Structure 1
């Protein structure tokens, strides 16, 4: 069965009817489902190991997730791909370690506790997230969909990055040396039944390691920022995207009731990626999407993950989303109301973004500022978010720069030990139910009409059109 699965009685027969899977795993039930995948909890028959079976209905997402997880195999803060099954005319099924909860649930339960989440616990969650993202960026992997529900947590308190279906490996990226000097080969997608060795390689982390000190690494960070900054749209190291802006990625809800919809001169072509290998026109979940993407950036790099990190950290600190936009345009409005106007001064090169001159807001004389968004938090905590949530991609702090920050290494309280973390016993939904939709962050993708923004002025320009919101 290709491109999807039929269901009966809550079961996806494309997985329950696959003998190569049921011969090795007992499927215990559905964990949840999304647009491109269904996830099941299962038990490995040989030893009783609890696993998650992720049936992916999109070819490109399957390839990306397998390639990324193979490249990251053995990373302590990235979910482990145990094996995968893929046959002709069948969806790929990834066998992943099963983790009982996620950071979204930790935040939700923190709201219910007096005092919220303790500072030491916040630091421990942040450190683990940084280590996971650092492992990705060292290997030139953009996750592109970082959010609390994609940060899974085991009973032992270990946090792991998951859901790499939107990830991309920067082929021209010069990897930063690590203590794991190995790079597994990407998967060969053929008509084979199963791939129990995850691509046929073994972890070589125990091989002889090349010495690499902190000074060497920090120097390479400087070189990295110089070479892979995103100000210059023509840099070969950056990837080309389709329209990833707030206009190009509007869902039906943005457009169907819009009296001005006839003025839109272009549409997003989702199928382009499959034909040309370019990036998708819809990158990341809105609340955590970098502003350059909302303005249609066609040349971006690892820095989009760093913006997402800042939004996640802010939510850990305040227990509420930093920029909870109800539509892509509202998302931009919320960002500008906090950080101020996006200008050449705050972000050199921003005027070259594809939709910079198509969408504009009235000048924000007195932006709210991040301090107001993070009440009762220390200057160090606010500064941590500021170093990530800034307009200029090249100015965003790298993961290793933050891991070396005194906030984590010296300031009391230090990160809480894993054994002392308050780990929820299971993942819960927004209404308190158990085991909600896997890898899903509520309904934040539901766009609202443009009418909510009040008066707007639409005019034609040499590049198409411009919308100004009052």
Structure 2
């Protein structure tokens, strides 16, 4: 693009940025952002410059990070940002050259047992502290995975990539595009919706309280259904072409918000990365809260323990199938409200008589470790342990105790470069949404006056 055009898309043409920062090299590139390693001219500090090409991703990340700046040392620091009309947002972030995915990858190369129990506990505690800060401020991250957990050279883990985050308001609703701010006002005001008086409460009250923050199901008109793209990590135009689910809510829904400046809209199920996506999202739920992060935590912890992803699905249907193989069929016996999920009656699987169980997938780990993961990986969102509960779990208080942060092994080299985060160097293979169903062989389609259902063997 011509650098002299009104919207240059190039960080190198922004004098307000180049006057303060020396741009050293590009370290990541993706559909929604480009990331550069840079140096602050005033003091030589190495930083990351993240140029975000998508308005709503930039808005969400800036707002979430502003709220969280003083909440936890385990959230990436936002030094400042540049944003004006007709330009992309550029976030100046602390530079972290590696991530938890690289930690896991290096440990896998060394072999089983290369991560001590004390190290695993310290990594888990840092993750929990960061997510607890998010949830304390009613921020749901919605894309927790090892590649979004950055690690400093001295072993401090920090949650990053808040472009999919949502802030659940204390005003009995979720921010809606029906109340969009003008572009200039949205950029300049950056309101923070923190509940400073949020206190620890028992779990039943905790999840009852979340109900008031969940939106009602959103009905999109026919024009919305014809959209050619969703979130970059979820759907592309090819995913929707010839999709047998195109007339069903199972098809990825229109990304939240609408129009060029749709920053905050109704919730969507089309978020996160498949291997870490909660089952209610896979069944099309748009009525959820912090609990989807808790499921992701369970998948991350299981990967730390096994050095392998727990549910490495190659498509959304395969993802559900893998979960059901381990946990058993989703029914009202295990989650009373599961039949309310948009696609519960559309997609069904054959009866799993003998589920594998999480314990069998973590056969070399202790009962306490299996118990910790099991507290997060359950179908009923209300039964998932909260971050506050997990931080008080006996597992972290018993020998061997968590090692000091200084005792953690931090990879000295990067794995494969990923696209959106400063220092993010890990990429899971093929975790978009379904583009075809050939891999599943035969399946049964039943039509009715109200639609159709698909049953997999």
TM over 0.5: yes
Classify 1:302/1:407 alpha carbon distance in 2 versus 1 (closer, same or farther; 3 Å).
same
Q: 1:223 aligns with which of 205, 212, 217?
A: 205
What is the CA-CA distance between 1:263 and the residue it aligns to? 6.9
What is the CA-CA distance between 1:348 and the residue it aligns to? 1.2
Q: 1:294 aligns with which of 282, 286, 296?
A: 282
Partner of 1:182: none
Higher mean C-alpha deviation, range 323-332 or range 438-447: 438-447
TM-score with structure 1 setting the length: 0.82
Asked whether the equivalents of residues 100 and 425 of structure 1 are also in contact (C-alpha less than 8 Å), the reply is no
1:418 aligns with 2:405: yes
Q: Where does the alignment leave 5 or more consecutive residues of structure 2 unmatched?
A: 173-180, 221-229
Partner of 1:143: 141
Asked whether the equivalents of residues 34 and 438 of structure 1 are also in contact (C-alpha less than 8 Å), the reply is no
1:401 aligns with 2:389: yes
Partner of 1:109: 106
Deviations 1:219-255 (A, max 9, x none): 3544212322xxxxxx4321346699xxx96655656
Classify 1:243/1:56 alpha carbon distance in 2 versus 1 (closer, same or farther; 3 Å).
farther
Partner of 2:178: none
Listed as ranges, the matches of 1:52-201 within 5 Å are: 52-74=48-70, 75-114=72-111, 115-172=113-170, 190=184
Q: 2:257 aligns with which of 262, 268, 273?
A: 273
- The whole-number CA distance in structure 2 between the counterparts of 1:95 and 1:339 is 42
- The whole-number CA distance in structure 1 between the counterparts of 2:298 and 2:219 is 24
SS of residue in 1 equivalent to 2:339:
helix
Classify 1:128/1:437 alpha carbon distance in 2 versus 1 (closer, same or farther; 3 Å).
closer
Asked whether the equivalents of residues 47 and 92 of structure 2 are also in contact (C-alpha less than 8 Å), the reply is yes
SS of residue in 2 equivalent to 1:123:
helix
What is the CA-CA distance between 1:298 and the residue it aligns to? 1.9
What is the CA-CA distance between 1:116 and the residue it aligns to? 2.6
- The whole-number CA distance in structure 1 between the counterparts of 2:68 and 2:431 is 29
What is the CA-CA distance between 1:53 and the residue it aligns to? 0.4
Q: 1:445 aligns with which of 427, 432, 436?
A: 432
Asked whether the equivalents of residues 269 and 282 of structure 2 are also in contact (C-alpha less than 8 Å), the reply is no
- The whole-number CA distance in structure 2 between the counterparts of 1:200 and 1:456 is 49
Asked whether the equivalents of residues 102 and 425 of structure 2 are also in contact (C-alpha less than 8 Å), the reply is no
Partner of 1:44: 40
Classify 1:118/1:271 alpha carbon distance in 2 versus 1 (closer, same or farther; 3 Å).
closer
Q: Tell me the matched-pair count.
A: 422
SS of residue in 1 equivalent to 2:39:
strand
Higher mean C-alpha deviation, range 363-372 or range 460-469: 460-469
Asked whether the equivalents of residues 63 and 191 of structure 2 are also in contact (C-alpha less than 8 Å), the reply is no
Classify 1:376/1:271 alpha carbon distance in 2 versus 1 (closer, same or farther; 3 Å).
closer
Deviations 1:332-363 (A, max 9, x none): 11111110000001111100111000000111
Higher mean C-alpha deviation, range 455-464 or range 158-167: 455-464
Classify 1:351/1:58 alpha carbon distance in 2 versus 1 (closer, same or farther; 3 Å).
same
- The whole-number CA distance in structure 1 between the counterparts of 2:204 and 2:139 is 19
After TM superposition, what 4+ stretches of structure 1 lie above 4 angstroms from structure 2? 198-201, 240-244, 248-258, 260-269, 435-440
Q: Where does the alignment leave 5 or more consecutive residues of structure 1 unmatched?
A: 175-186, 202-208, 229-234
- The whole-number CA distance in structure 1 between the counterparts of 2:333 and 2:345 is 16
Asked whether the equivalents of residues 273 and 280 of structure 1 are also in contact (C-alpha less than 8 Å), the reply is no
1:354 aligns with 2:342: yes
What is the CA-CA distance between 1:464 and the residue it aligns to? 1.4
What is the CA-CA distance between 1:368 and the residue it aligns to? 1.1
Partner of 2:176: none
SS of residue in 2 equivalent to 1:135:
helix
Higher mean C-alpha deviation, range 453-462 or range 87-96: 453-462
